[in-house]
Structure formats: structure tokens, C-alpha cells
Amino acid sequence: MKTDSLFYTIFQELPFVFFALLGVPESATSQYQFTSQELKQLALRLDGLFLPLEPNPALPFYIVEVQFQPDPQLYDRLFSELLLYIRQYKPPHPWQLVVIYPDRQIERINTLHFTGFLQLPNITRIYINELTPSESTSLSVQLLKLITAPEATAPDLATQIARQAKVEILDLAIKKNLINLLETIIVYKLPYKSREEIAAMLNLSNLKETKFYQEVFAEGEAEGKAEGKAEERAEAKQREKAAILRMSNRGLSVAEIATFLDLPEAEVEATITQAAQEQN
């Protein structure tokens, strides 16, 4: 799964996570909706956009970009999209641009053109590895750190987040969404883990009760833990195939499945075609 897709999924399901990164009170969450917005010219799209629900000029709109790969042209594109969005939609709100990096080494700046732009108070750049200790212990930041955590530390961090969520989150619907997202992240970071291991990691009585398992893996996961790296790879491939077929059966397009699973479209299409041939 693509890292940026996971971030945008979290912002969609748990928008308070985004505002926590900015130090904005959680109450602001109810004043916004998270969406994406197509820009007609040049076929551009804003993948992350927090829009106020009311035309209150005191509330800014936020353009959000998650960038985990070096891109020398990132700011060329972002500022172009920002100005084009303002021109096309004429939002009755001031703008804020938020870029999230894992660290400063990923960032690429064209100092000739954009040094002055990046000093504007409307622009916030967040480097996850530089968050203060107090910020890093917050549930919101811990959830985002799990996405890029090394395989060796991801299980312990996921367990910690699950425990923290059960104590800090009182809203049952939000708590359930967070556990579902945790499960999604762990399944793709550690595909060789059995459902029992994941359930124990997240302190769940039954992994089959969670939304993600029911929708994607309910019938396709192999029983038991694979032994040896070859078997682990085979098991991961089987889970991948099961995920593709279940998403296809639920009506997702080849492009959508490829984006969600971070796979080539040709591989997704070949898997679906092969399954259809086997069925016939």
C-alpha cells in the first residue's frame, strides 16, 4: 500500500489526527470535511483538501501533501495547484498549505524560486522525525509513525497504540475506525503474520470481527503460520491475490485496486483474468 494513501485514509477516517499535527484543537474537526478536488486545467487533482463546512472567512482551507519520496518539482506543482484552485473555485477562505515529510532529507527545494514562498506563515512543513517528545507520544502522531516504522518495531508500536486508544478514545465509532486502520497497516506491513497474531497484537478477541478482515480477507487467508521465507512469500502472495479478488467483487476498478495495494495495474488485471479463467 502506498504511504501517502494510508495517510489520506487516516485523515478521511480520523480527521482529528491532521489537526493534532498542527496543534489545532480537536473541536475544529467538526468544522471541516476531508476531500479531494479535481482541477480542470492540466488534469490536476488535489489529493488532500480540508474544506470548512460553513462559508466562514475566519476558517482557512488546508491543502495537504504527504511526500515520502524525493521530488525536485514538488513545490512547482503545489503552488501551481494552489493558485489554480483559487482561480477556479474562488473559496471564501484563506489558504493554508501543509506538507508532511518523514525527514528533511526527502525534501527538495528550488531555492531560486521558492525560498521566499516557504517563509510565508500560510505554509507548514512537518518532519515526523523532528516532532518533540511530547508530540511524539500523542495517539495521532504514533499512528502516523506506525506507517513508516521498521518491521522490527512495528508490532510493539501497534500494540501500544491499541492500548492507548482504548484508554484515550471514548467515542466507540472513532475507536473502531482507529482499530480498523491499525489492522490495515499491520496486514500490509507484516503480511506473514497470522490473524491470531494480529488479533493478539491489537488486543482483539477475534480479528474476523473487524471491518477490514471481513471485507478483504474473510475467506482467503491461509490457516497457520508459514515456515521459512519461501513459504512466507507464498502466503503473502495468496493474501494479495485474495485481496485483489475481494476488492474486485466489491466493485473496485483495476486502477483503484492497484493504487490501494501499490501494485502494477497489469498484475492486478492478470490476477482477475486468471481467476475468471479458473472459475470457467
For residue range 50-74, list pLDDT tens digits in order. Answer: 999 998 999 999 999 999 889 999 9
Q: What is the mean pLDDT of residues 163-192?
A: 82
Helix (H) or strand (E) holding 36: strand 32-39
Strand locations in 148-261 (E): none
Q: What is the pTM of this model?
A: 0.68
C-alpha to C-alpha distance for 13 and 169, rounded to whole angstroms: 14
Q: What is the mean pLDDT of residues 248-264?
A: 77
Lowest mean pLDDT among 40-49, 64-73, 166-175, 185-194: 40-49
Kindly list the domain boundaries of the chain, sorted by start residue: 1-145, 149-218, 229-280
The answer on pLDDT for 207 being more than 80 is no
The answer on pLDDT for 278 being more than 50 is yes
User: And the C-alpha cell for 124?
Assistant: 507548514
Count CB atoms within 10 A of the CB of residue 273: 10
Indicate the pLDDT class of residue 203, thresholds 50, 70 and 90. confident
Strand partners, 127: 101
Indicate the pLDDT class of residue 177, thresholds 50, 70 and 90. confident
Q: Taking all residues of the chain, what is their mean pLDDT, rounded to a whole number? A: 82
Q: Looking at residue 228, what is its pLDDT?
A: 52
From 94, 4, 114, select the one nearest 50 (Cα to Cα).
94
Indicate the pLDDT class of residue 205, thresholds 50, 70 and 90. low
Q: Looking at residue 222, what is its pLDDT?
A: 47
Lowest mean pLDDT among 54-58, 75-79, 163-167, 219-223: 219-223
Q: Looking at residue 165, what is its pLDDT?
A: 87
C-alpha to C-alpha distance for 133 and 21, rounded to whole angstroms: 13
Q: Looking at residue 213, what is its pLDDT?
A: 57
